[in-house]
Amino acid sequence: MTAAPPRPLELTFLGTGTSFGVPVVGCDCEVCTSSDPRDRRTRHAAFLRLPGGGELLVDTPPELRLQLLGAGIRHVDAVWYTHAHADHLHGIDDLRIISLRERRSVPVYVPAEALDMVARRFDYIFDPDYRPDEGATRPELSLNGVDPSRPLELLGETFHPLEVPHGSMNPLGFRVGDLGYVTDAKRLPPAAMERLEGVRLLVINALWHGNPHPTHFNVEEAVEAARQVGAERTYLTHLTHRLGHAKLTASLPPGVRPAHDGLTVRLAPGRPVEEL
């Protein structure tokens, strides 16, 4: 009997914007008033359907409820938090319906350095002594720290953390299989580059053209990092309103593309990266 082929990994970009989102409130620039739906960017999040069947959410931005509805996502097995900035974390209460409907605790994974910060900021979730008022509910989540130096077995897959510098924080991207995922990075340190060796699909942040930012890649820096990694396909995310999708696409080298909200990418063994 012939064995079934391995299941592909599918990545959906739920949000590809920065902390302001696009359109930016009160802005009348070309991108903020664009009729191209790819120029409308909610704040950062992604969703992975893993080869073993697990479903992983990456970050919980303030628009999470709308993102999950828009993508038709009804179930989340676990959450990977890249770091504790508000645009990546403060939609955490939208996990409440997941834990309530499925009557289980949802495991969430955060960089070990951010454990205390997350627990304090959302003590109504993580304080075991807190009791909601009668008739109220809270998300039932289990908080887990990720050691950046050690692989993590999660949902039947091995995740290799990718620690990157971002001002006073050190976000954790990850490598799982042939996917490398990095956001809110200023550079890729040697340890991250080593763990990214051989990836076929890379996701990396890029704010704008030119004018280097102290804590984020700009487009030129992200493209150079992508060249060094050498993935078959690289997608840029965490994009500002200085970048229109069509113009950015035309400016990028082969193999590098801007992501957009709602884009799903499939990565199957032995097949080219495919946009669905």
> What share of residues in the chain are helix, strand, coil (percent, to 5)?
25, 25, 50
Six token digits for residue 26: 């009160």
Six token digits for residue 262: 């709602």
For 107, phi then psi, to 5°, come to: -75, 135
DSSP-derived secondary structure letter, 6 = P
Query: Angle CA(87)–CA(206)–CA(234) in degrees, nearest 5?
Result: 115
Q: Are 98 and 75 in contact (CB under 8 A)?
A: yes
What pLDDT digit, counting tens, does each position of 201-219 carry?
Answer: 999 999 999 999 999 999 9
3-state secondary structure of 30: coil
What pLDDT digit, counting tens, does each position of 30-73 carry?
Answer: 999 999 999 999 999 999 999 999 999 999 999 999 999 999 99
Whole-number Å distance between alpha carbons of 23 and 27? 7
Does the pLDDT at position 244 exceed 60?
yes
With cut-offs at 50, 70 and 90, classify the pLDDT of residue 6: confident
Whole-number Å distance between alpha carbons of 257 and 237? 9
Query: Tokens 């924080």, residue?
Result: 169
For residue 5, the model assigns a pLDDT of 67
- Average the pLDDT over 106-135 and give the result: 95
CATH topology assigned to domain 9-149+156-267: Metallo-beta-lactamase; Chain A (3.60.15)
Closest CA to 256 of 218, 276, 230: 230
219 Cβ contact partners less than 8 Å away, ≥ 6 residues apart: 206, 207, 208, 209, 236, 243, 248, 251, 252
Beta strand pairing status for 264-267 and 55-58? unpaired
Query: Tokens 């996502």, residue?
Result: 73
Query: Tokens 């289980």, residue?
Result: 104
- The alpha carbon torsion through 172, 274, 206, 86 (nearest 10 deg) reads -50
Burial label for 134, CB within 10 Å (0-12, 13-18, 19+), is exposed
- Average the pLDDT over 119-139 and give the result: 94
Q: 173-193: string of b/e by CB count within 10 Å (b at 16+)?
A: bbbbbbbbbbbbbbebeeebe
**What residue type is 160 in one-letter code?**
H
Does the pLDDT at position 1 exceed 60?
no
